[in-house]
Amino acid sequence: MKFTLSTASHASRRHALLAAAALLAVAAVPASADTYPSRSIRMIVPYLAGGVTDVMARQFAQVMGDKLGQQVVIDNKPGANTIIATQAVASSAPDGYTIFFMDLSLLSYNAYLYKQQPYDLARDFVPVTSVAEIPLGLAVNSFVPVNSVNEFVAYAKANPDKLNYASAAAGGLPHLGMENLKAVTGIKMTHVPYKGAAAAITDMVGGQVQAMFNDVSTSVQYVSAGKMKVLAISGEKRMPKMPDVPTFAELGMPALSVAAFMGIVAPAKTPQAILEKLDAAIREASKSPQITEYLQSNNLVPKVTSGKELTGIIGSEEKKWRSLVTKLDLKVD
């Protein structure tokens, strides 16, 4: 073929189009781990601002941002027992710019409480690391004439269906903890769900309800004021701020232990190299004076694990709560 200016022009245009297509293809590829993060990271929290989970997430977000060189922004998405937030994470791009800070125990058993969920635990998420354990304790108000778990069980059996227990929400860990207590001991109590822990605690210390499982971090102030009695706590050892309160394990009742495992997961298919960067930032943050002081002052137990270890924790929690929910046929919807 005779080479002319016209054919040269066509060739140039073809090369230009190919070059442009190549540039667009490069732009469409997610940022590599080498440049990650190149912009701010969204950390979704499934609760309202101000709660234990939210405050802890903000502590970690601040220090992680310093370590990663990009801001980690909290995005509160409360509602539907965390399903709204969980779905938002599951549907996000797996590029490391959306991560989920939550109670991983809840993530493990929600599937058994709800008939339909817009996500699948195994399919839609990949664990990054856990950061802390929040031990829950069995608490009663000061009007209940008991000072131990055994006394409480005896009192409840002597007053069947006359006692009420509170929870921050139907389907939450404190709710399941009390249902587990009922199943193990044979006591009968009525569940009164609230919209948030603050309202539940207010009514509990005021005498409208008699008992609840509550996180140790928020119980201390009420115990000190004489408005609440914590009969036993979960975890491996006693809390420094409540040294007289035994653990369930000490009492020979390990089956009653209830603890929230706080941690971070990401959308499935997030590149391993990005997961490793997030894990490293979280581990560094956990060692910082700011996080150490925060956890200690709030009776929270540091618990940093690998993604593999976290998978095991979630699996163990799933097995435990699936058994209870199935046995009692508990449903939220």
More confident residue, 321 or 268: 268
**Digit-coded pLDDT (tens) for 112-130:** 777 777 777 778 999 999 9
Residue 242 gets which letter from DSSP?
Answer: B
Arithmetic mean of pLDDT over the chain: 87
CATH of segment(s) 135-256: 3.40.190.10
CATH superfamily of 41-133+260-328: Bordetella uptake gene, domain 1 (3.40.190.150)
Q: What was the pLDDT predicted at 5?
A: 36
26 pLDDT higher than 50: no
Domain ranges of the chain: 41-133+260-328, 135-256
Which residue shows structure tokens 């960067």? 277
Q: Binning pLDDT at 50, 70 and 90, where does residue 333 land? A: low
Beta bridge partners of 265: 100, 127
pTM of the model: 0.79
Tens of pLDDT, residue by residue over 289-324, are: 999 999 988 888 899 988 888 888 888 888 888 888
pLDDT in tens, 50-70: 888 899 999 999 999 999 999
225 contacts 219 by C-beta, under 8 angstroms: no
Rg of the chain over all Cα atoms, to the nearest angstrom: 25
Range in 8-12, 39-43, 191-195, 242-246 with the lowest mean pLDDT: 8-12
In this prediction, residue 32 carries a pLDDT of 62
Fold: same for 41-133+260-328 and 135-256: yes
Percent of the chain predicted with pLDDT > 90? 59
Residues 6+ apart with CB under 8 A from 252: none
| pLDDT at residue 9 greater than cutoff 80 | no
Which of 319, 312, 318, 323 has the alpha carbon at shortest distance from 110?
318
Q: What pLDDT shows up at residue 311?
A: 85
Residues 204-230 pLDDT 10s: 999 999 999 998 888 989 999 999 999
How many residues in total does the chain contain?
333
pLDDT in tens, 170-205: 888 899 999 999 999 999 999 999 988 889 999 999
Grade residue 20 by pLDDT with cuts at 50, 70 and 90: very low
3-state secondary structure of 125: strand
Q: Tell whether the model's pLDDT for residue 90 goes beyond 60.
A: yes
